[in-house]
Amino acid sequence: MTQLVKVQNFVVSQDGFGAGEDQTLDRPFGHADPGTLFAWAGATASWPNRTEPGGSRGLDDYLTRDFANNIGAEIMGAHKFSPHRGPWRDHDWQGWWGDEPPFHTPVFVLTHHERPSFTLSDTTFHFVGGDPADVLRLAKEAAGGKDVRIGGGATTIRAFLDADLVDTLHVAVAPVSLGHGVALWKSPDELLDRFHLDVVPSSSGVVHHLFWRR
């Protein structure tokens, strides 16, 4: 069984930005509205944060419920974990996700600044430096044979793409433009030299882009 390195359910604007600028504690996506970017996933029956029954069970639901399928570890950038910059001032901040983070695996947070690992429910956060290949080695080992998710943001995905370490990507292009922000790409065509691509429009308005290595 191949151990894959996957990007899953990563959302960008039509102009290719995964987040806006000026990230703060209250605005993890900066000037971008995550409600708009993630509306397609939030409407599905499988959305992990769903509080009421119901939800759609069409195409978007397949992609949403595949999020945890055979994933054994996640790698995320420091800005996905926290709005802080520089050395950790305290260790009270434990991410945006509350006591039950939606990862359920070891998570490796890329940072130049040391910090002890900690566990919330069935998610353990580790803080690691090094280049993408080094971090991926740690994550693959922790994943116990399962796949490794590159969780974003856009800068982290770009770093792993530039090191040619990604096997598959699912990127949902939301029907919104941001103008500026943290860019994943100018165009999905940039990846076509290395990846096959299925472009799959959804009735929700997003266009799913499914890449796999040639």
Judged by the rule CB under 8 A, the positions of this chain that interact with a copy of itself are: 2, 45, 53, 56-59, 61-63, 65-66, 69, 167-168, 196-198, 200, 202-203, 208, 210, 212
Q: What minimum distance in Å lies between the beta carbon of 3 and a copy of itself?
A: 13
- Which pair of tokens denotes residue 213? 């290595």
Q: What minimum distance in Å lies between the beta carbon of 213 and a copy of itself?
A: 8
Q: Is 42 exposed, middle or buried (0-12, 13-18, 19+ CB in 10 A)?
A: middle
* Residue 33 or 66 having the CB closest to a copy of itself: 66
Of 108, 115, 116, 162, nearest to 136 by C-alpha is 108
Q: What minimum distance in Å lies between the beta carbon of 37 and a copy of itself?
A: 20
**Whether 140 contacts 4, CB under 8 Å:** no
User: In one letter, which amino acid is 77?
Assistant: G
Q: What minimum distance in Å lies between the beta carbon of 42 and a copy of itself?
A: 16
* Residue 48 or 83 having the CB closest to a copy of itself: 48
- Which pair of tokens denotes residue 56? 């759609």
Scan for tokens 């599905």, then name that residue.
Answer: 44
* Residue 33 or 167 having the CB closest to a copy of itself: 167
* Residue 8 or 23 having the CB closest to a copy of itself: 8
Q: What minimum distance in Å lies between the beta carbon of 64 and a copy of itself?
A: 11
H helix intervals, 7-58: 34-37, 39-42
Interaxial angle between packed helices 154-162 and 132-142, expressed in degrees from 0 to 180 and rounded to the nearest 10: 100
Determine how many CB atoms are found less than 10 A away from the CB of residue 181. Answer: 23
* Residue 27 or 65 having the CB closest to a copy of itself: 65
